[in-house]
Structure 1
Amino acid sequence: MSEVIIGNQIKLYRNLDSHNFNIKADDEELKEIYETLSDAAASIGYEEVSLNELSSLQRLKLVEEGKFSSNFLDRKHKGFFQKENMPDIVINGLEHLEIREFSRDKSLDEIFKNVYEVEDKLEDKVSFSFDPKFGYLTSRVLNTGTGLRPQVILHLPALNYFGMEEISKGLMRLGYVLMPYRSGAGRNAGSVYTLTFESTFGDEEDFYINKLNMITKEITDIELENRKRFYLDNIIQLEDLVNRSFGMLSSARILSEEEMKDAMSNIKLGTELSILKPNRKIDFYDEVMKLKNGHLQIERGAILDIKSRDILRANKSRALMKEVFK
């Protein structure tokens, strides 16, 4: 990926023909949907992950990796299926079926091909709910049509610094949605944003992939231009921002996940603009994931309280800064 693009993701939603959507289906129907789709998934080489047999930490790891939401784990007739080097399959999540893949290495076009390869194989086994006028039917109107939700995850610290409101409104008028990625309480931590469509109804799937690639290129160019502007016109503010963040990560004894994300975002920007010079290559996405609440507990092998997590995160952050920059 580039300095700006963190990763690409595609979710494809489908529902079985002649069945209620999940929000209307009763227990018996949800069980029937699960059995039908799990048999279809198994027939094309997928294996089910026995979620109920996993430990709380193992389930937390899957949620942390974005495989599904924590609410999904509370569902009764649910299914999560995996196959090596192939997209994941989720049964009875938002819709009857979700085929999803996230990658930091593959392009949207590559992921698109993988997801539809699985969809084609499943469609040979089951019949999906389709209307000649409206396309594939889903419980959410905005997903009806193609059922396709392509998404690009972007690191936009310069745009975030100068203000995102104007560009967000402009994109919204064109049918795009640029919003904070997994932020808490409406706040964006780490200047990470997702770019997708408000709806993928009315055109062929290829159209949306091509359009998203084009607008991603434009946003990337704008972000890089703003980084130059930040460096040339606001160098003192930039150095202050980066060095304050470095000071926090290298000295803090208690560090929240949100503080860590913000600081790591600034450090990443600082290294890319040569404010800081690491003595080895560092993948900031991987390091942020290692310092998140879920990973810390998984690594420790126990559920930790908030204070313990924040102390452990600070310890690891100090060690990382010492290793990478000194």
Structure 2
Amino acid sequence: MDLGQFTDHALSEWMKQEGPESDIVLSSRIRIARNLRHYPFPMLATNPQSREVLEKVSTVLNNEDLASISHFNLMPLSEMSELDKRVLVEKHLISPNLANESRNGAVILSDNESVSIMVNEEDHMRIQCLTPGFQIKEAWDLANQIDDIFESQLNYAFDEERGYLTSCPTNVGTGIRASVMIHLPALVMTHQINRILSAVTQVGLAVRGLYGEGSEASGNLFQISNQITLGQTEEEIIDNLHSVVLQIIEHERAARNTLLAEARHRLADKVHRSFGILSHAVILDSKEAMQRLSDVRLGVDLGLIQGMSSRSLNELVVMTQPGYLQKVSGGPLSSEERDVRRAQLFRERFAQK
């Protein structure tokens, strides 16, 4: 399978499925950081060393147990254009760090894009599993299965006291990051979001934006993940995240019900105004597009807007990002050209409603 199979389409196969609580939780993710014993971390490795790491990792792709999970595609970043790398970042299949700074970096993707294994990023391996909706435990089961297969074939860097050794000290121990992408517009509208997120950070969880560390929240989308990787088992980390996210979901549902009961007309006006702007705007920057799309998503979820699917809105999140816009346009676009193309795309899509 060539790279175009992953960059020509905005929606990954796994994103086309409906998951539990999908009106609030867009996706769940497990990421596992692993390094090979006797090799320097990627930031200190020489070119020959990082090439050897890639070769060792790639040999595991022939493993029968791994093949029973999916067919996997190995793609070196050196063979990708900058635009293709950006699209993979926008689809959350690789990290900005791998796209920008990797030496002999590569990504291994399952056919449906639910599994992404980054090689020679900050760590030698970062195994990522994605599921639709609130399925963090299911994502962990898959990631753990894949990790066991690689560990049976490779010699991981592991310490009896510290656990799995990683480039960044904050990942030492289990090396696991469990996260959910969650849409919280009602908590934002009712001015409860700061209190909720403050409580989240006090129980050892981190709150980030759409693209993880260093990104800000956009379109009322927040990434909730564990901060602690040492001193807890993987199951304890996941159970803690699971229970906290369930509480956040309850608060968001309560806020949505309050808005419907006490300010239904104002809420309907807000979501339909955003729908109107997306349907008719001639120029639209990414920040406003994400906010308006958040309003429309809330309107769809609450039944205030009919005839649109969450799947189509998920697709638009990726399709209107800068990299994908330029990909479908056939080359680089200026900022204003992207804003014009973004608005055109919304007009076309919303006209089909």
The answer to whether the superposition gives a TM-score over 0.5 is: yes
Query: Which residues in structure 2 correspond to 1:47-86 (within 5 Å)?
Result: 47-73=73-99, 74-84=101-111
The CA deviation string for residues 265-295 of structure 1, in whole angstroms up to 9 with x for no partner, is 01111232333x3234352212222222222
- What's the CA shift for 1:16? 1.1
Pick from 50, 69, 76 the counterpart of residue 30 of structure 1.
50
- 1:28 CA displacement: 3.7
Structure 2 equivalent of residue 111 of structure 1: 139
2:307 counterpart of 1:279: yes
The equivalent residue for 2:155 is: 127
Q: Corresponding residue for 1:321?
A: 350
Q: Greater shift after overlay, 295-304 or 229-238?
A: 229-238
Moved more, 131-140 or 229-238: 229-238
One-letter amino acid of the structure 2 residue matched with residue 168 of structure 1? L
Q: TM-score under structure 2 normalisation? A: 0.83
RMSD: 2.4
Give identity over the alignment, percent.
Answer: 26
Distance in 2, matches of 1:142 and 1:185, equals 15
Contact 1:30 1:92 in 2 (8 A): yes
Whether 2:33 is the aligned partner of 1:5: answer: no
Deviations 1:217-239 (A, max 9, x none): 11101100011122223345423
Alpha-carbon spacing, 1:70–1:207, altered in 2? closer, same or farther (3 Å): closer
Q: Which residue does the alignment assign to 2:175?
A: 147
Shift of 1:52: 2.6
Q: Does 1:205 align with 2:231?
A: no
- Aligned counterparts, 1:238-257, within 5 A: 238-257=267-286
Contact 1:9 1:102 (C-alpha < 8 Å) held by counterparts: yes
Aligned-pair CA distance for 1:136 = 0.9
Q: CA deviation at 1:154?
A: 0.3
What CA deviation, in whole Å up to 9, does each residue of 1:81-102 have, x standing for no partner? 2343562221110111111122
For residues 90-101 of structure 1, the aligned pairs below 5 Å read 90-101=118-129
Greater alpha carbon shift after TM alignment, 22-31 vs 189-198: 22-31
Question: Are 2:115 and 1:87 aligned?
Answer: yes
Q: CA deviation at 1:170?
A: 1.2
Gaps of 5+ in 2: 1-18
| Total equivalences in the alignment | 323
Gaps of 5+ in 1: none
With over 3 angstroms needed to count, the CA separation of the structure-2 counterparts of 1:170 and 1:71, relative to structure 1, is: closer
Query: What is the CA–CA distance in structure 2 between the aligned matches of 1:227 and 1:120, rounded to whole Å?
Result: 42
Are the structure 2 counterparts of residues 218 and 295 from structure 1 closer, same or farther at C-alpha, using a change threshold of 3 Å? same
Range with greater deviation from structure 2 (61-70 or 184-193): 184-193
Which segment is superposed worse, 93-102 or 59-68? Answer: 59-68
